[in-house]
Structure 1
């Protein structure tokens, strides 16, 4: 095992500075490069005094230069390799490339490179790796945690935590696995320096991160001004989604360079990209649905200016580095000033100027509320997860049938419980530990209140009561906050406000597209038998839905999150909206969906799903579609009460909630039989208001097929997501 050099202070600061400066100039390939204020001070704390340091500096300041230069200097003094914990694959790729420029040998181990561990391990054993980059999630990979990490800890020369605000649940991008870093720090040998870096931490986050870094010792905090002199900020409020998109269609070509257009949802990103491409602009969508290989390709195309812009969700955030990014536009507002500062910080990092414009929407608060509540499971469901766990490992799939939580929320909850010691990961499953644990309602309440305060602050930012940059700095508790003199509050609107009739028409035409496919389910939810779901003979359902009992591919008018028809549909489905006949404009749009539907055979009749909340809406829609299509209305299925299973939740619970509640009554069965005799092989159109999990349509289609329907074509006004 390598001995760690004793922590000493360089007697000649000038010698250390000159040595560090030479490495910096290799890194930047610039012979005249110098340190920004605070950079050398951080390097000195790490190399000369082997301290623990927290660096809070604006994006583009050069935090990576600190840890690459420090690594070179520590390695030259006999230290072991640096372990760099980095949150995103894109960030790792950039960091490996930057390390090579500084003469630092770097390797990354993450979900995309796990198969390369044998090679990386051999390189580490041969002392051929200066920096090993790992994702925070890797810290809880059983093999890495138990077999590989202990050896790394024993040899480690420095620990670096990038994007350190993720450690804090007060941070805008909290990731539970970052909490494991505290345990890692406690295991470090004496004299191993630790560096944490972030550009987006307010005072509360700084205190939280410093406390976790300290391990009972002191932490040196180096904090600089977060002002971004290269950014020109503005907010333009327009009346609706069509007008906002029209503004982009007309004015994106006048913005300098290439950039990023952020949206709040995947649907909005896809709709915006399609509209801009139709108008002749070279843009691509980049979302959580984008294939990992395509993400790499799209990032490279933006870096090489081969696209005008990427229309992205927050999936393109931390880690993307394009120094000459010319603009960032938000079509819809992030929920907090801190996350907004982080996203706009992608622009203007290379010394040039960049334009940043926010186009907020009336629907933004509703979207904020959805994401905020979806990420915080309540006490009852948390207790249910713990009660389901024992000494034998259970997989996430098995836990779904015991918890009602959706998989993403369940996975997040397990990570939190793991970090807090209540559960442990064993192989691909989870067990409960014997450590006492209780639901911290007070803590979750504080976090929820903080999120509401952040949302209110974002609305205040939009109102423009003070300089835009100063406002963001104050939200980050930056003591140097001052008016920038460039934003639209300080200097007046720098952006055009008008939207031409031509651009407005192009946007409206694009957003007027109708029709979203409802993919039929082919398999039953795994584990649903645990909730008492059986077929008519009392046997478990099995895995596959029989071919003769499935629905065919269906259609919805639009997604609730769509920029176009999503708006009118959200109003129709609002919690306080009264039930009533389908509005004529929406009914006409539904007819267009039917007209464009490429079904193999036209439906011969209409059947509706009985709605508990909107019976008039569903019946009127079925009647209007039948009347326009000159089709008979056969009626609706019978609905009985749910079998005592909690509604909502994950796929397993949603299937159980609807199973046994829908039946084909005698009159409907007789009409289906008559239809089959008159038009053999003809399908029926099954009408409902809203499709989410697709289980209502799936179960209803099964009942209709078993009653004699040759085929079932599901149709809904709206689709979730």
Structure 2
């Protein structure tokens, strides 16, 4: 028996154990990838549609390599949900798989002991774990020496041309460069166009494979057709959010099986789930802000068909595996056909039919623009961070107070700078490496332009009169694209268009809901004392604001639209509109305060004095309360701009408001402003009012950001 024949026989046996079927056979390309890894010890990139069986390639290859005496496979996996599913799949094939991630720190010592005893076949780690100082310096070197194969799942994350770029994936190039040439490397993805494929291949070929070869030349790329015959695609354009929600209320139960309803924002997911639940539908919200245990529970409930749908942001994406998922519906479109293909690929993986429907929104472009700009590095900010670091480690909270960048964008920027070699994460925080760093403006301009083009492609998908599956395939540079015969353009509209009157009323009432709590600040921010603000620890109870209210969040489906127009760049300052004032009065009527306010005070607004003054006067008049006027700006008034971190925001407003000119009565005071973001303006203003005699301060704003 030849070596190749033996490998194939062993591989097919392992495959049948993995899938639990004695008649299972390889899909086209699966064995070729396994053979390249096991016999050729090559570097391979597999681009195949969701459900094709990419995990079978690396689990079978792992079993064969381990039998040859190779060390454990290291599987870099981006999401916890993906890790859980992969470990379950591995167990079915007798593959001993364990994970190291942020949720099982209590198990790390056991995992490392298992590795030392060679009792682990596959170690799953997140890309972020590769740069954890303790893991990188204590465990990774020994692991690299023993590694039998490296697998990079969802490899499109490597490419900053991709729709889901994660900076930590860029470090894999360095990891690959450290490994012996005979260690096979596999990258897999279902969502990559030609540009992303070329970029990923270059990362895999971090070192040349032979004399005269360029990086990436030795990479075997196995790419299959991306058509999904089980999916029935459609697009339904409705006039507004109320119509889309009303359609969903009318027809959710008619959609097959259980599925996923995707939204573009956290607020939209929460609001939609609440509306559907209130009307008797078994749904749950699933976002990046959902508690980890609750997310795990929700995934399990969907898999067991105990809910009709999860209403989710993109947090429920890569790797979630429910083979019989019956439908995927989008309230609002993702920003590119590539991203859309990735999400709809969750459906119909092991069934003959699944329904995929897009309900685009007029606000989609604004949301795309926000997320696109928020994820791009800024040169001035990057230089500020590098200048603030030296040889001594600085923690992220301490650095935040030094550079005036909020935690989330700061962490993303640090990752980009780390990958670029300008900073390095060490025990205790971050240090500067001293290596020269140049902002690659041309590269980021190209990426920004490509993202704009992809957004237009998504608009084109919505409006095309051609086959929708063919359109998605061509967007991913699949040259096998052909009409599917199933979508609404190929076979006719398959979804109902009518909307029930009761559903329309319910949706309108839900979107007309007003009132969002504003949690008061309870503690001063770390590092404020370094900026000349002499406070630390908890805010004295006698100086705190009470719980406030906002009319709505800017991202809300209902009143958020009107507020986004009101606060849009270039919008003219004007007195509050009657309908907006009436909605604010409803918020006050529903407010369950302990004691009714005795007076109204306005914030001194730099950008919208007419709006804030008229709102405060209007609320005072309706509530038959005295309007005391606005707080006086002190010390030149507030300094700084929105968007900084807490310490800088506090420093910009510290002791910049005075209540000395106001006759503050004893009792609660309603404090009125246009927007709340960091809440430090309201916190400092409330402190001034409390010191002037108010027994409580109840903040009220039109819009809550975030």
Task: Give the TM-score band, short-chain normalised.
Answer: over 0.9
The change in CA–CA distance for 1:297 and 1:227 in structure 2 (over 3 A counts) is: same
Determine if the alignment matches structure 1 residue 144 to structure 2 residue 131. no
Measured in 2, the distance between the counterparts of 1:635 and 1:643 equals 18
Contact 1:81 1:131 in 2 (8 A): yes
Q: Paired residue for 1:522? A: 522
**Map of 2:607 onto structure 1:** 613
Gaps in structure 2 of 5+ consecutive residues: 210-217
Cα distance in 1 for partners of 2:71, 2:3 equals 23
Shift of 1:376: 1.8
- Does 2:587 align with 1:596? no
Deviation readout 1:56-110 (Å, 9 max, x if unpaired):
0000100000000111111111211111111111111100110010111111111
1:257 maps to what in 2? 257
Q: Decide which of 635, 643, 667 is 1:648's aligned counterpart.
A: 643
**1:701 corresponds to:** 686
Distance 1:357 1:337 in 2: 14
- Find the counterpart in structure 1 of residue 473 from structure 2: 473
Which residue of structure 2 aligns with residue 118 of structure 1?
109
Q: What residue number does 2:214 align with?
A: none
Match of 1:216 in 2: 208
Q: CA, structure 1 residues 644+502, in 2 after alignment: closer, same or farther (shift >3 Å)?
A: closer
Number of the residue aligned with 2:536: 542
The alignment status of 1:583 with 2:577, answered yes or no, reads yes
Aligned to 1:661: 656
The equivalent of 2:25 in structure 1 is 34
Structure 2 residue aligned with 1:108: 99
Counterparts of 1:194-343 in structure 2, within 5 Å, are 194-214=185-205, 215-217=207-209, 218-343=218-343
Confirm or deny: 8 A CA contact 1:637 1:662 kept in the other structure. Answer: yes
Taking the aligned partners of 1:310 and 1:72, their CA distance within structure 2 comes to 35
Q: How far, CA to CA, are the matches of 1:125 and 1:648 in structure 2?
A: 47
Distance 2:368 2:225 in 1: 29
1:395-444 Cα shifts (integer Å, max 9, x gaps): 11111122121111111111111111111111131000121111111111
Q: Give the drift of 1:374.
A: 1.4
Q: Give ranges in structure 1 of 5+ residues lacking alignment.
A: 1-9, 534-539, 677-681
Distance 2:35 2:121 in 1: 19
Question: How far apart, in 2, do the equivalents of 1:100 and 1:642 lie?
Answer: 64
Question: Displacement of 1:252 after TM fit?
Answer: 0.5
* Displacement of 1:351: 3.0
Q: Structure 2: how far apart are the matches of 1:78 and 1:632?
A: 83
Query: How big is the shift at 1:648?
Result: 2.9
Compute the displacement of 1:644 (Å). Answer: 5.7
Matched, 1:168 2:162: no
Query: What are the Cα deviations for residues 226-265 of structure 1, in whole angstroms up to 9, with x where unaligned?
Result: 1111111111111111110000001010000000001111
Aligned residue for 1:177, secondary structure, equals: helix
Contact 2:382 2:417 in 1 (8 A): no
* CA distance, structure 1, for counterparts of residue 183 and residue 465 of structure 2: 47
* Cα deviation 1:439-478 (Å, max 9, x = unaligned): 1111111111111111111111111243211111111111
How far 1:630 sits from its partner (Å)? 0.6
Give the C-alpha shift of residue 485 in structure 1: 1.4
Matching of residue 189 in structure 1 with residue 174 in structure 2: no
CA apart distance, 1:166: 0.8
Deviates most, 272-281 or 458-467: 458-467
CA contact (8 A) 2:406 2:643 kept: no
Do the aligned residues in 1 keep the contact of 2:36 with 2:44 (CA within 8 Å)?
yes
Cα pair 1:168 1:209 within 8 Å, conserved: yes
Partner of 2:215: none
**What is the alpha-carbon distance in structure 2 between the residues aligned to residue 468 and residue 532 of structure 1?**
59
Match in the other structure for 2:512: 512
Which residue of the partner structure matches residue 532 of structure 2? 532
User: Is the partner of 2:510 in helix, strand or coil?
Assistant: helix
Over aligned residues, Cα RMSD in angstroms?
1.3
Q: 1:647 to 1:248 in 2, by over 3 A?
A: closer
Alpha-carbon separation, structure 2, partners of 1:288 and 1:484: 34
User: How far apart are 1:12 and its partner, in Å?
Assistant: 4.4
The DSSP-based 3-state class of the residue aligned with 1:220 is strand
**CA distance in structure 1 between the aligned counterparts of 2:403 and 2:108, rounded to whole angstroms:** 35
Deviation at 1:643, TM superposition (A): 6.7
Between the aligned partners of 1:574 and 1:437, the Cα distance in structure 2 is 36
Alpha-carbon contact 1:609-1:618 (below 8 Å) kept: yes
C-alpha deviation, 1:647, in angstroms: 4.6
The match for 1:80 among 52, 64, 71 is 71
How far apart in 1 are the matches of 2:103 and 2:352? 34
Q: Which residue of 1 aligns with 2:424?
A: 424
Measure the CA separation in 2 of the matches of 1:662 and 1:595. Answer: 29
Query: Partners in 2 of 1:462 and 1:317 — Cα distance?
Result: 21
Partner in structure 2 of residue 5 of structure 1: none
Which residue matches 2:697?
Answer: 712
TM-score under structure 1 length normalisation: 0.95
TM-score, normalization: structure 2? 0.97
Secondary structure of 2:535's aligned partner: coil
Who is 2:212 aligned against?
A: none
Give the one of 2, 7, 13 matched to 1:16.
7
Q: In 1, are the aligned partners of 2:159 and 2:199 still within 8 Å (CA)?
A: yes
Distance 1:618 1:138 in 2: 48
Structure 1 residue 189 displacement after superposition: 1.7
Kept in 2: contact 1:263–1:312 (CA 8 A): yes
CA-to-aligned-CA distance 1:331-373 (integer Å, 9 cap, x gap):
1111111111111111111133111111111111111111111
Aligned to 2:401: 401
**Structure 1 stretch displaced more, 634-643 or 685-694:** 634-643
Asked whether the equivalents of residues 86 and 136 of structure 1 are also in contact (C-alpha less than 8 Å), the reply is: yes
SS at match of 1:635: strand
Report the Cα distance in structure 2 between the residues aligned to 1:579 and 1:219, rounded to whole angstroms: 59
Partner SS state of residue 517, structure 1 = strand
- 1:206 Cα shift? 0.6
Say yes or no: does 1:61 pair with 2:52. Answer: yes
CA distance in 2, matches of 1:441, 1:405: 20
The equivalent residue for 1:626 is 620
Whether the aligned pair in 2 keeps the contact of 1:422 and 1:433 (CA below 8 Å) is yes
Aligned equivalent of 2:668:
683
SS in 2 for 1:183: helix
